[in-house]
Structure 1
Amino acid sequence: MFTEFEESHLSAIKEFARNAANRRWENLRCLDAAGTRMHDMSCGLGGVVITDTMKSVMRAGEGARFWHNHPSQDSLSHHDWICAGSCPDVEILATNERGSIFVGRIPAWDDRLRHVLKEFPRLSGDLALHLDTLAKEAGLDFDNIYALGSFTGHVQNLALAECLAPSDVLAYGYCLVQQDQAVVDACSRLGIIASGIGYARSAIQGLLAGAPAPTASNPRLVGVNHVALEVGDIEAALHFYGAVFSFELRGRHAGDAEQPPMAFLDMGDQFIALIAGREPPEDVNRHFGLVVDDRSQVMALAEAAGAKILDRPFNFVDPWGNLVEVVAYRDVQFSKTAEVLRGMGLDLDKSDEARDELRRKLARGGS
């Protein structure tokens, strides 16, 4: 079933999961499609970060396999399915400390899944309560009732796969070790598993039916290419912004009968266009946020360059009335790709809060 190389990494993940010190930790490994090399690995408390190397492998479209342990000891989570849905050739494998394996793929994304996966955590809680009630009413022994708590996700995923069968949208498979299979068998004999699948299937079918129709006619906002600022004089503006920030000049336009003089400040995959012609009054609430690598000295530099400093933290008005807010890269969700950062000569990281915000956004399907 697995190559020797794959077996070694699967065994290492299981050994990690069985270590009592790692009870709440997760170990993620990204393997190639052939099972001959590991691209990268990460660890995290209660969850892991997909590294830039892993993202590059996914974008390459040559097959990426994400193998990890689940601190919950359960099957694939909604985070796993969202990752699987990011690329048709991505495989997600989760294992528990006992050695059972759960595998999923989404070869053809169905946009209704966005609505379903957004509700997956809530449905999981409802299903866990339903299974627990069934088990107690059926007289299941305490040990198996306790063990059943680690199979809520598995039951939910079985229902999800049934709801999308026989389409090629989603594939779900599993291999239970004897200990886990015995729990499932004991629950199945009392009708608990079948009833749980039916309960989850009904809820998922309702979510699929109620998913918002795709709005292909409405383009999705994905970012900002550039911001244009009107300034009184291009040379004076370049001197001012050059005294506050470090940047490269992407280009200039001398001005002609149709367009005024312009200068373009490079920000990697984005830029600021300075356009001659601005006259006061200054902005009061209209503003834009500039992201920097380190903002500790920016207000002192802005004041020294002639900016009007506002009472609001890290807000200033340039000499031509443009209101600027300065934010730190590590503290916001906005992210540049590793390739762009390398091209800019930067090595930047995110704060734990920013990572949490990004994780929550992924859990909501990017909404």
Structure 2
Amino acid sequence: MSTKSAARTSSRNVWEGITGTHDFEVVGYSLIDGFGAGRHVCSGDFSVAGHDWYVAFYPDGLDQDCAGYASACLAYRGKERLVRAKYSLSLVGRDGRASPLADDTVRSHYFTPTSRSADLLRFVEKSKLSSPSSSSYSCLDDDTLTIRCVVTGPRVESVAPAERGPRVTVPPPSLHEHLARMLRYGRVSDVAFRVGGRVFRAHRCVLAARSPVFDAELLGPMMETTAPCFEIHGVEPAAFEALLRFVYTDSWPLAGVDVAATVRLLSAADRYGLERLRLMCEEKLHEGIDVDNAADVLAMAELHHCSQLRDACVEFIASPSTLGPVLASNGFEDLIMATGASVTKEILHKVSESWSCHGNRNSSKKKGEKWQLY
């Protein structure tokens, strides 16, 4: 009996990045300084990876929230439904190299005919642009400012079975980006909060959908209020700003593991009933427990009923290798004052269990042998 080998098919998808650089010279910068927020000047069109682009520069910022900063953006001129590109915008110093005064981070963005621009709201501080021309960081050369744009776009070559048409490219979810833009610009906002001297504009429907506390406050008796701004006490501005960022993006709103900032955010999350954010704070604080902050973190966990974090802190403090240093820390006395005897008894119980276990192991050793503890 003869057998036939199975038919074999193959396909290949090759992505090649094409990079282009465009220098946009803004001649007579002093004449446009003071244009006003939202007014801008544009570069000429340039082509990279088969697509047309241009750079826009806002000498007084894109909007009122950018006071003290100049903004810049890369804009897409084409008509393709979806173009993904990496880009950076930087200022060229007098030495011809990228100046450290501006944000030259390489970013990635999806451009479409309805979402044409990628904005750098705080591109550079205006005060730095007016530094003396003799400064090594000066970017003004004979009243001319040069913005360098580097764009990398993909060129795709596909070889696939003839009977199959081109695949449909679906971008990742971008709802959080759109909501973050609404929060950043404050457009069509209908509620404002004053927190420690700072004012934050937001949208009642978004806050109410995400927080039961905001729902009760903003869609309850306060729904018809005409107060221009609600005062918030007991929350620091930075923590409230981070809380709003989470509400609109559902992602971790702080950079890195800052224990002090995370503790303040935990308090705000608990106050507004944001359970997911509260648990995220617990996780971050768990990662950051050390001898210096263990007592403070435990006190915060006890105050806000964070059971998992509380147990982790008790285990950390009761460990023979850390117990002494924690007891000598400034925060331990504050812990006793804040929590009373209950937490202290639990720590002592854990210590007793640890040493009891150690003693039992010691008794099983031969005479002259020593146990090494941790």
State the TM-score, normalizing by the size of structure 2: 0.20
| Structure of larger gyration radius | 2
Which has a greater percent of helix?
1
State the TM-score, normalizing by the size of structure 1: 0.20
